[in-house]
Structure 1
Amino acid sequence: MEEDSTPDRAEIEEIATPDGEENLEPNEEDNLEYMDGSLQQHIAGDLAENSTPDRDVYSTPSMDLIDALIDIPPRELERPVQISLVPSYVKKRNPDAYQPKMVSIGPYHYGKPQLQPMQSHKNRAVNHFLRRSPNMATKQQYVDALMLVYDQLWRSYEQVNQLGNWTRAGFIKLMMIDGIFLLEFLNVLHGNGNDNDYADSDPIFGKRGHVLNYNHVMDDLLLLENQVPYLVLSTLLTVSQGSATEEMENYLGRLMLAPAAIKGHHLLDVYSKGTLGRSERQDPVMGEGATKVSAAELTKTCGMVFKAIATYSDMKFRRRAKTLELPTIIIDKGTIHRFNNLKAYQLLTGDTSMELISYIHLLNFFILSVVDVNTLRSQGIIVSSLDSDEAIVTVMKEIMRDTMAENIDEKSAGIIKLVRKFYDHKSFVYYCFAWFTTRWRLVITVLGSTLFILNFVESVYSIRHYRDH
C-alpha cells in the first residue's frame, strides 16, 4: 500500500445524510460504494483475484516479493501483528471453524456475498450510536480520532494482498463502522445505554431478536480473522462519551464480560483472558503428562468434592477438606470453533498466557467417560446447552486434537500434581482396606462355616447318644 498523507476533511465523505438515512458516498480512491443504506465493496483487479477465502497466503512467494521483504527495515518486521490470517495448513482440517457465517469484522472477509445482508444492520447501528452519543459527536470527529491512530490500527493486521487496495480513508471508515457495530451488538445486554432505542423485534439489536441470533453472531465475532483492534473501540467510546481512560476501560470490560483490568488486543484476546477471570501471566510447563484421573472415581473412592468458583486465579485444591475449587466453564456448539481460533492465535502470536487453553487441559485430565462429565455438570463445573453428556465428551475430544497435554501453565500443572498425589494415596489406602476387608470376610465366612459344621456334628452326635440310652 502506498503511503499517503492524512486526507483533508473534504476527502472523507459524510456517512449519513441529514435525514439520518445511512448513505456512504463513494470515493474514487476508496473503491467503496454505499447505496440505499447498504455498505458494499467493489474492489477491482488484483483484489478480486487475491481475496478467495481458500487462498494459501503462505505459498511460495515470487522473487519480487522476496526482494521487497529483504528491503523491509528491521523496525517494520518487529511491528505487533495481532490479527492474522490463519495459515492454510491449520485451516485444512476444519475450514469452517475460521470462516464467518453472518458478519464480517475488519478487512479480511469484507465484501463476501454471504455476509452482505449484515451490512444494512451495521449502517443502522451507526445511526443509533451517533444519536445516543452524550457528546453529540459528528461522524467526522470519529473519523479524525481514528485517523490519528491509523498507523497502529493498520499495523495490527497482517500485511497480505487483501489489504493492498484499501486507502487510508476507506480503511478508517471500515474501522469506524465495524467498531460501532461491535459496540452496539455487545451493548444489547446492557439495554444500549438504557435507552432501548431498538424495537424488541429487531433481528440483531432487539431483545427478542438478539436472543435468537446472539450465539451465531458471537461465533463470528470470536474468529481470529474477524477482529478489529481494541484501540478502535476505546477511541470510539472516548469520542462518544468523553470519558476518562479508566472509566472507558471499565465500560469496555463490562461489554466484553471481562474484568476491566484485562486489556486485550481485540475481542478474541479479551475473551481468552477474561472467560476464567484474571490471573498472572505464566510460562507453559513442559513435562511428562500425568495419568488421567476420573472425576467420578475421585468423588466415589476418595470422597472429593468439586466446587464452582468465579475466577481461574482463585483455583485451589484443599486437601484436608477434599475440595477442588474450579471456575465454571460453558461448553456449547461454538466451543470447538472458538477453541480452534484461540489455538491459531496462540500459534501465530506466540502468546503463552492463555488460561482458557490450560484450563481445558485441566478439565480433560478428569474426563475419562460420560460418567465423569455428569459428575462435573452436577457440581456446577461444566455448564452446557448441549443435548447430552455424550455430546460434551465429543466436543472435548475434538478440541483436544493436535494439542500438547503437557503444555499448560504452572497453576493447572500444580493442581494436576496435587490431585494425582492425593488420588494415589487415597486409592492405596482404599484398596488396602478393601483387600483386608475382603480377606477378613473370607476368614469370618470360613470360621462361621466351620462352627456351623461342628455345631451340626455335635447335634447329630447328641441325638444318636440319646437314642442309644
Structure 2
Amino acid sequence: MADVTETKREHNCHEDPHIFASVDDNTVREDKSRRGDEVISVLVLESIEKDRKKVCPLSFNCSIYRVPNPQFKRKPEAYIPRMVSIGPFHCDKEHLKPMEAQKLRYLNDFLTRSQFQATLENYVNVITELEDKARQCYSEIIQESKEEFVKMMVIDGCFILELILKITNDDPDMIMNTPWMFYFIKYDMILLENQLPFFVLERLYELFTGNSNSNGLDTLIFSFFQILVPQSHSITPESYQFRCSEVVEPFSKAAVASTIRPHHLLHFVRDLFLQTSSGRWRPEDPGPIMSIHCAIELEEACVKFEKEVKKKTCLLDITFQNGVLEIPTITIQDGTESLLRNLIAFEQSSSVYKNYITDYALFMDDLINSATDVELLQKKGIIKNWLGEPKDVAALFNGLLKDVTTGRDYFYNVRHELEKYYETPWHKWKASLMQKYFNSPWASISLIAASILLFLTVIQTVCSILQVT
C-alpha cells in the first residue's frame, strides 16, 4: 500500500506533459505575433515614408486645381476637355488621344518656325530646369515620371504657342479650316483642369524669340482670346496690362512678386474680364451679401435699366444712380456657361483669388428669376442672347452658383442702394401711376383730358361762388 501511495504521490508531483506543450505553444505564438507586428510596422513605416516623399509641400506656386467635386457633379461636361488634353489631369482620356498626333505636327511646325533656330534640345533643357517648379503648380500628386512630365510640358506648350501663332499669321491649317474643331479647342484651353503653368509658355516663347520681354506673348494671347471676353471691343493690346493685386497675407514678398504675372491661360482670360480701356476695374469694398428683387420687380418700382455705353466698360462695371441701373452688355453663347463656370471654380480654389466673377454671377442670378426677366434685359440691350430661348439664359444664370460658397459681396453698395430705392413707397406709386395711365398714348390723352375737364370744373365752381357773393 505504501508503494502504491508513493507512486501516486510521485505521479502527482510530476508536471503534465500536455501542460508543458500548451505553455510552449503559447510562447511561440506570442513571439511570432510580436515579430509579425514588428515586420508590419517596418513595412507600414517604409510605405508611408515612400508616399510622403512623393508629396511636395503646397506653396504659392499652386494654381492649377481640380474643380470642386460638388460643382463638377452638377455639370461635368463644362469642365472636361472635348478635343485636346493640356497638362496631366486629362492626358489619359481615350477620347482625347487622336489630338496627340496633331500636337506633334504642331511641334514640328513650331521648330521649323523658330526664328532664332532654337532646337528641340534647347526647349527640353529649359523645361527640365523648371520641372520641380511646374509640378508644384498642380494641386495633386503628378504620377508621371520626370521624363514623361517634361515631355508633356514641351509638347503641350509648343502646341499652344504654335496654335496662337497660326491664328496671328493667318496660316492655313486643318484646325483653322475646321471651325467646329477650332471652337472646341479654344474653349478646352481655358478649362481649369486643362492648364499649363504660364511661366512654361513664357520660357518657351523666350527661347523662340530670343527675347525675355513678355509683352509680345501677352499681345498674342490677348488677340487669341479677346473674342471670348464680353467687353472685348473696349480694350486693346496696348491698354491691357496684367496687374494682379490679389495676394493676401501670410504670403511672402517673393510670393507677391511672382503674382504680377498670370498663373495660366484661364487666369489671363479672367484678368481680361477685369480690364477697361484705361486700366483695371477698381471694385468697391465688399460688404455682406444681401438679396435684391428681380428685374421685373425692380422695374415695377420705377428702376430704369440701361446698358453701360462708356468706352472704358468692364463687364463688372455695374452702377446705380438716380434710379438708373447701368449694366454692361454680355453676349450669351454656347461656350459662355463653361467659361463662367471655370472662372468661378478658379476663384473657389483659393482665397488668394477674389470672388469678382462669382459676385457678378450672383448679381445676375438675383436679377434673373425667369424668362420674363431675361426678355426685359434683352430689350434694354444688357443681354445679347445667341444661346436660344430666354428660358435657357435664365437656367444658365440660375444654375451657376449651386454648391458654390460665397463670401462678402463686391456689389454690396449697388445692392444696398437698389433695395433702398425699391422700398421707397413713392417709387412704387409712381410706377403704378405710369403703368395705369401712361402705358399707351390713348391712356395718356384720356388722363390729360380728364385733368383739363377737372381744372375747368374747378374754375367754373370758383366763378359761380364769386358771382353769388
Give the structure-1-normalised TM-score.
0.67
Q: Residue 224 in 1 paired to residue 207 in 2? A: no
Q: Residues of 2 paired with 1:366 and 1:415: CA distance?
A: 12
Q: Residues of 1 paired with 2:267 and 2:385: CA distance?
A: 22
Q: Which amino acid aligns with 1:397?
A: N
Shift of 1:302: 3.7
The aligned residue for residue 275 of structure 1 is: 273
The aligned residue for residue 170 of structure 1 is: 148
Q: Residues of 1 paired with 2:202 and 2:241: CA distance?
A: 12
Residues 289-337 of structure 1 deviation map (CA, whole Å, 9 limit, x = unaligned): 22323158538934442324554387253524x5433333232333333
The aligned residue for residue 388 of structure 1 is: 389
Residues 218-248 of structure 1 deviation map (CA, whole Å, 9 limit, x = unaligned): 3322222211011111111111112342423
Shift of 1:115: 0.6
Q: Residue 237 in 1 paired to residue 237 in 2? A: no
Q: Which amino acid aligns with 1:272?
A: R
The aligned residue for residue 127 of structure 2 is: 146
Residues 395-430 of structure 1 deviation map (CA, whole Å, 9 limit, x = unaligned): 1122132235x63542x2222222333344462451
Partners of 2:368 and 2:398 within 8 A in 1: no
Q: Residue 182 in 1 paired to residue 150 in 2? A: no
The aligned residue for residue 47 of structure 1 is: none
Partners of 2:330 and 2:384 within 8 A in 1: yes
Give the structure-2-normalised TM-score.
0.67
Distance 1:276 1:382, change over 3 A: farther
The aligned residue for residue 12 of structure 1 is: none
Q: Residue 213 in 1 paired to residue 181 in 2? A: yes
Partners of 2:202 and 2:214 within 8 A in 1: no
Counterparts of 1:283-322 in structure 2, within 5 Å, are 285-287=287-289, 289-294=290-295, 297-298=298-299, 301-309=302-310, 310-312=312-314, 315-317=317-319, 319-320=321-322, 322=323
Q: Which amino acid aligns with 1:178?
A: D
Counterparts of 1:13-412 in structure 2, within 5 Å, are 76-160=57-141, 163-167=142-146, 169-190=147-168, 194=169, 196-199=170-173, 202=174, 204=175, 206=176, 208-209=177-178, 211-251=179-219, 252-257=221-226, 259-262=240-243, 263-277=261-275, 278-280=280-282, 285-287=287-289, 289-294=290-295, 297-298=298-299, 301-309=302-310, 310-312=312-314, 315-317=317-319, 319-320=321-322, 322-403=323-404, 407=407, 409-410=409-410, 412=411
Q: Which amino acid aligns with 1:382?
A: I
Identity %: 25
Q: Which amino acid aligns with 1:419?
A: L
Which stretches in structure 1 are left out of the alignment for 5+ residues? Answer: 1-61, 452-469
Q: Residues of 1 paired with 2:63 and 2:434: CA distance?
A: 56
Q: Residues of 1 paired with 2:393 and 2:164: CA distance?
A: 27
Residues 50-99 of structure 1 deviation map (CA, whole Å, 9 limit, x = unaligned): xxxxxxxxxxxx987766677899x9243532112335454333333332
Q: Residues of 1 paired with 2:59 and 2:70: CA distance?
A: 24
Shift of 1:284: 5.1
Structure with greater proportional helix content: 2
Q: Which amino acid aligns with 1:333?
A: D
Structure with max Cα Rg: 2
Q: Which amino acid aligns with 2:281?
A: S
The aligned residue for residue 414 of structure 1 is: 413
Answer with 391-400 or 278-287: which moved more.
278-287
Distance 1:256 1:172, change over 3 A: farther
Distance 1:179 1:354, change over 3 A: farther
Q: Residues of 1 paired with 2:428 and 2:314: CA distance?
A: 30
Q: Residues of 2 paired with 1:219 and 1:422: CA distance?
A: 40
The aligned residue for residue 10 of structure 1 is: none
Q: Residues of 2 paired with 1:253 and 1:395: CA distance?
A: 26
RMSD over equivalenced CA pairs, Å: 3.7
